[in-house]
Amino acid sequence: MLEERLGRLEQGARRSEESFQQLQGAFTILSQRLDTVQHTLGQVQGQVDELREIGRLVERLTQALAQQDERRLLLEARDALIYAQRRIDWANDPATALAVLGELDARLAKESRGLFLPLRQALARDLERLRAAPRVDLDGILARLDALESRLPQLTLAFAAPMPETSAVAAPRLAAEAAPQDASAPAESPWYRRAWQALLRGTDEVLASAAGLVRLERLDAVAPELLSPQQRLVLEENLRLWLASARLAAQGGDEARYCAALGKVRETLVRFYVSDDPAVASTLAALDELAAQPLAAHRVALTDSFAALAQIEARLQAEAAAASAP
């Protein structure tokens, strides 16, 4: 009996040892698998960390791109405002300034961010003031100056005008004056009366012939200046240059230089051309009308827009400084 029990115990011990060896093998396999899983988890964790770093990098790049877009739009707005203000101040051209500011407003309207909202509000105020400002009819002035320039070859120079008839010495019409007195005389007059009338007629003919050789002219009158064809061309070119100077002054809003150029043109026309000629007279009248038109229109300053732009720039600089701070 004891031997049987010992045999069973030995068999149980062998089975237990086999089971233990199996468990130990399974534990080894599990340990290996656990190591594999841990290694895989380490790799996954590394990838997760890389993904997180990539996400943060993408976020920073997105913010940088957004800031670049804002700065680019800010630079575009500044350039547009500076160009519009120069067109107003330097070229007296509010129409171009209105077109540029209108395009800028349309560009800002496409932005959904509220950063540029103060700039749009300020731009709307400046646009309203610019539209309400009185304007100079610059196109009309330039058109009239061009018309005057095209009329120059048709004007009559003073020396080329027909000379007025000069006054001749009036011959005493002695015979004609004596005729009425003798109208009632009979046909048969005495010889001495016929001789007297013949003497008067002869004297009248002599004086009439002498009167044709004498002309009376005013010594205090200014004679027209003689000009050669080359000098006439130079004169017309000078007039064109003065009209061109008036045109440039009108475009720049320089009223003093504009009036001075028109004054030079008028002075030359009065000096060298026939003032009584209808074409010259109408040209002088047109010059007077052009000189009377004001050029110094009210020039609008885009102060509100520039102030709003400066505030946006200061805000972006503060945000950039805060982002770069540790």
Q: Is residue 269 part of a domain?
A: yes
Summarised one tens digit per residue, pLDDT across range 253-275 is 788 899 999 999 999 999 888 88
Predicted pLDDT at 28: 87
The range of the structural domain enclosing residue 128 comes to 2-132
Q: Is residue 63 part of a domain?
A: yes
Summarised one tens digit per residue, pLDDT across range 48-57 is 888 777 777 6
Q: Is residue 286 part of a domain?
A: yes
User: Does the pLDDT value for residue 132 go beyond 60?
Assistant: yes
Return the number of other C-beta atoms located less than 10 Å from residue 297's C-beta.
Answer: 15
The residue assigned the tokens 């010495």 is 169
Q: Is residue 301 part of a domain?
A: no
Amino acid at 258: Y
Q: Is residue 307 part of a domain?
A: no
CA distance 301 to 127: 10
* Gyration radius of the chain over CA positions: 54
Same domain, 200 and 262: no
- For residue 167, the surrounding DSSP H or E stretch is strand 167-168
DSSP secondary structure letter of residue 157:
B
Same domain, 247 and 110: no
Same domain, 21 and 117: yes
User: Does the pLDDT value for residue 252 go beyond 90?
Assistant: no
Same domain, 123 and 147: no
Strands (E), the chain: 167-168, 215-216
Q: Is residue 311 part of a domain?
A: no
Predicted pLDDT at 62: 62
Domain final residue pick, 216, 234, 256: 216
List the Cα angle 277/280/284 in 5-degree steps: 135
Query: For 132-141, what is the mean pLDDT?
Result: 82
Same domain, 111 and 147: no
| Percentage of residues of the chain with pLDDT beyond 90 | 25
CB 169, CB 216: distance < 8 Å: yes
Same domain, 143 and 242: yes
Count: domains in the chain: 3
Q: Is the pTM of this model over 0.75?
A: no
Summarised one tens digit per residue, pLDDT across range 92-119 is 788 889 999 999 999 898 887 788 899 9
Q: Which residue has the higher pLDDT, 201 or 189?
A: 201
